[in-house]
Chain A
Amino acid sequence: MGLKQKLHRLKEKYRGKKMAPAFNALHTFLYLPNHTTHSGGHVRAADDLKRTMNIVIMALLPCLIFGIFNTGYQHYLASGDIQAATDFFSPEFWSMENFSLGAWKVLPLVLISYGVGLGVEFLFAVIKGHEVEEGYLVTGMLVPLIVPIDIPLWMLTVAVIFGVVIGKEVFGGTGMNILNPALTIRAFLFFAYPTWMSGDKVWVTGAVESIGNPDAISGETILGSLAQGNSIGYDLMDMFYGFIPGSVGETSTLLILLGGLFLIFTKIGSWRIMFSAVVGALGMGLIFNGVVSAEWIGENSKFFSLMNTEFWQHLLMGGLAFGIVYMATDPVTASQTNKGKWIYGIMIGVLSVMIRVFNPAYPEGVMLAILLMNVFAPTIDHYVLQANIKKRAKRIKVKTV
């Protein structure tokens, strides 16, 4: 008797039992289930939610691998052990030392994120008696990529539990949530433990422990230094390749761009949201550049350095590109109508750059911009639908006149 038959017998045995969702969740990962159509059409297309989520994870994997190398690279660069990388394939960056240090630091974040998050999901599925839904597969991969590398694991654990329970399960689970769960987790960390989420000590591994030592290392993000009126300090290709400090997976604009193109090509990610968010960010950047060139604010204004940043360079800094490609496009929390997606995307771009410029204490605007637009997405959809409803009502009027 093969594995297939054995598992089938177990499935039949557990049918209707309390633990059935947990068993089925594992079983369906191994085998596409034997369900056949019962109502309506007799055939179905090939795509299911697991496949959809899997594509997003595939688009995220390059960012994860790059983040592992970058963790080691930033540490050894700050401590002066290695030279700066010169091009994308520099051996200084893609070295075994960088990888092993990075893996040692990053993989625990991944394990905690998936272990705790899926644990909560399984628990809720068993309690509520529904199948384990796949939404957390992507959330679990996003979380380690958007936190600072040295975040204590217990904080991450608390935040993941909060994010999954309050951000998703209380609304009814996957498909029902209002806020992006990964960003809920990050927002929780940001407001509960701000010293671990911002400043110039958390972005390079080892920086916090080294405070006070003679060979202390520090690594400030580009946004951080600009917000304090300093210069960028990195050349543009470093920023594009991602050889800069920042949250684990957000730094490489090149890989994010490739991931975004992959999502658009596979028709999993919404090109409308990605494109309009980029347009919104560029537009807002241009407006700020205009403010500077019209000399409405002087060089001693505290907004000057970020406002004076070339409009397109905003896309290379911080988490803007990552947020646009992987988080704004979450179909559940974004606008659900195609017209609404344009408005939603543009507003995310505009607000991200606006928050960056006007909030020097925390110059990363994309998280708050997406969360804010998540809240407004149903409102946008409401007005898009109203337009359709009005059109239909008008049809009756035309007829009766």
Chain B
Amino acid sequence: MSKDIKIRKGLNIRLKGEAEKTLSNAPRSRTFAIRPQDFHLITPKMVLKEGAKVQVGDILFYSKSQEELKFVSPASGTLTEIERGAKRVITKITIEADLQDTYKDFGRIDLDTISREDLKKHLMNSGCWPFIKQRPYHLIANPDIAPKAIFISGFNTAPLAADLNFTLQGKEKQIQVAVTALSKLTDGVVHVSVGTGQESPFSGLKDISLHTFRGPHPAGNVGTQISKLDPVNKGDTVWTVAAQDLVIIGELLTSGKFNADRVIALAGSSVKTPKYYKTKIGSEVSTFVYDSGLSEDNSRLISGDVLTGTKISPKGHLGFYDNSVQIIPEGDDYEFLGWTMPIFNKISPSRALTFSWMFPKKKYNLNTNTNGEPRAFVVTGIYEEVFPMEIYPLQILKACMVKDLDAMEALGMYEVAPEDFSLTEFICVSKQPHQQIIRDGLDLMYKEIG
């Protein structure tokens, strides 16, 4: 059943500052933080009060709308601060770490005998359920709906992204346990897609259907892979899990511990020595950022990749789902006659006095400037060039903007996630916030239909 699929549409964004394949241990972080915004549409209900002592795996909060969905601490220490924003929404939960982690023991389980319901409960109690996401709506999976299939992308094509073949080295055992467990949660197949060329930690696994994808970004995005392998129809649900999170799930099932260890890539043109670090979910990024050093003070720190990540402050923490931290220069400066001068140092999908088409292998140092002001949609036909799904991107964006639920549903809204529109957003001449438009559209549909 394995397929070999070639993607033609897309765009590889080559940036300077790719992480060198050497692994260092990041110093232990003094504080850890969990940001509830990482879990879209989850309203946290705190279990602990400020000052409480926690172990790794102790429940910090649960979802107000679904009490069995629990979120646990990645480190042991003292809960020092519950930061609230507008309307008293919890924005950050900070834990001052102990010197050594002590783990809560969730107990080992036998995958051969455990029932599907018990396995779900085990994953939810141990805080591993949030790693499982669902489409439609791109939210944490609803445990009450059995998915028709589960999709895992085994490689990254996003700019400067962590090389999973490197970060998952030696974790084959945990990954195998995790995919076997996932295969018990669906009546369908666990699809794993890998790139070509290199030996992948996924290639020898059982209980999966292995596919290869080749072509430019977004070949490595799970949304692209779903659309080519088994697209989401109305009424379907599929689940997705990020490859690095399989390690944590596998560790839980084999050792009984919630082990938040993660190998991340520190990359970007503002980083002096970009390389890989072993750290934990929620740890302070400064622990490894200042180890590598910054070559540019006025820089933006991003937890995640430059197309889909979250902006964080220099004192910020690694996001729950992220396996890279990327740092690029801020572009908050004017450029004299920038709209008409020939451009050699930026990427462009056109040839409008832009010359990136002449140097397909060149690596660029892009900053955060938008290179223009937001406008109404004018140019057509360019989005399709970088969008490999069988969906009309401009039309579905417009349907979201005018909140036309019927059109959104008919045009394929159940199949998409904001990250699928990160490339159309990158090349947008009108500088429209595509990912935000899609996220708002999905939220509206979830509220009205889902």
Residues on A lying within 8 angstroms of B by beta carbon are 4, 7-8, 28-52, 54-55, 131, 133-135, 172-176, 265-268, 270, 272, 331-332, 334, 336-338, 341, 381, 385, 388-389, 391-392, 395-396, 399
Q: Is the CB of B368 within 8 A of A37?
A: yes
The answer to whether residues A174 and B378 also contact, given A32-B334, A51-B340, A396-B234 and a CB cut-off of 8 A, is: yes
Q: Is the CB of B371 within 8 A of A45?
A: yes
Q: Is the CB of A47 within 8 A of B376?
A: no
Q: Is B379 part of the contact surface with A, judged by Cβ < 8 Å?
A: yes
Q: Of the candidates A42, A51, A173, A266, which one forms a contact with B328 in the assembled complex, judged by CB atoms under 8 Å apart?
A: A42
Per the bound structure, the CA–CA distance linking A289 and B369 in Å amounts to 56
The answer to whether residues A50 and B384 also contact, given A133-B376, A332-B378, A337-B392 and a CB cut-off of 8 A, is: no
Q: Is the CB of A35 within 8 A of B348?
A: no
**Nearest opposing residue in chain B for A262, CB measure:** B351
Which segment, of B110-118, B245-253, B299-307, faces chain A? B299-307
The answer to whether residues A389 and B333 also contact, given A45-B371, A48-B429, A55-B353 and a CB cut-off of 8 A, is: no
Q: Is the CB of A175 within 8 A of B430?
A: yes
Q: Is the CB of B350 within 8 A of A268?
A: yes
Which segment, of B87-95, B196-204, B207-215, B431-439, faces chain A? B431-439
Q: Is the CB of A47 within 8 A of B352?
A: yes
Q: Is the CB of A331 within 8 A of B338?
A: no
Enumerate 22 A-B pairs (CB-CB under 8 Å) in ascending A order.
Answer: A31-B336, A32-B334, A32-B335, A32-B369, A34-B331, A40-B307, A40-B435, A43-B367, A43-B426, A44-B428, A45-B371, A47-B354, A48-B431, A49-B375, A51-B372, A54-B353, A131-B373, A267-B351, A331-B378, A337-B380, A341-B381, A389-B410
CB neighbours of A37 from chain B (8 A)? 368-370
CB neighbours of A392 from chain B (8 A)? 233, 410, 412
Per the bound structure, the CA–CA distance linking A265 and B338 in Å amounts to 21
How many residues of B are counted as interface, with CB atoms below 8 angstroms from the partner's CB atoms? 76
CB neighbours of A43 from chain B (8 A)? 13, 15, 159, 306-307, 328, 366-368, 426
Q: Is the CB of A389 within 8 A of B307?
A: no
> 13 extra interchain contacts, Cβ-Cβ under 8 A, other than A41-B426, A385-B395?
A4-B334, A32-B334, A32-B369, A36-B330, A39-B433, A41-B307, A42-B309, A45-B347, A46-B354, A48-B431, A49-B430, A52-B352, A175-B375
CB neighbours of B411 from chain A (8 A)? 385, 388-389
CB neighbours of B337 from chain A (8 A)? 30-32
Per the bound structure, the CA–CA distance linking A75 and B307 in Å amounts to 59
CB neighbours of B377 from chain A (8 A)? 175
Q: Is the CB of B371 within 8 A of A32?
A: yes
Per the bound structure, the CA–CA distance linking A49 and B337 in Å amounts to 14
Q: Is B422 part of the contact surface with A, judged by Cβ < 8 Å?
A: yes
User: Closest CB-CB distance, B123 to chain A, in whole Å?
Assistant: 28
CB neighbours of A395 from chain B (8 A)? 231, 233
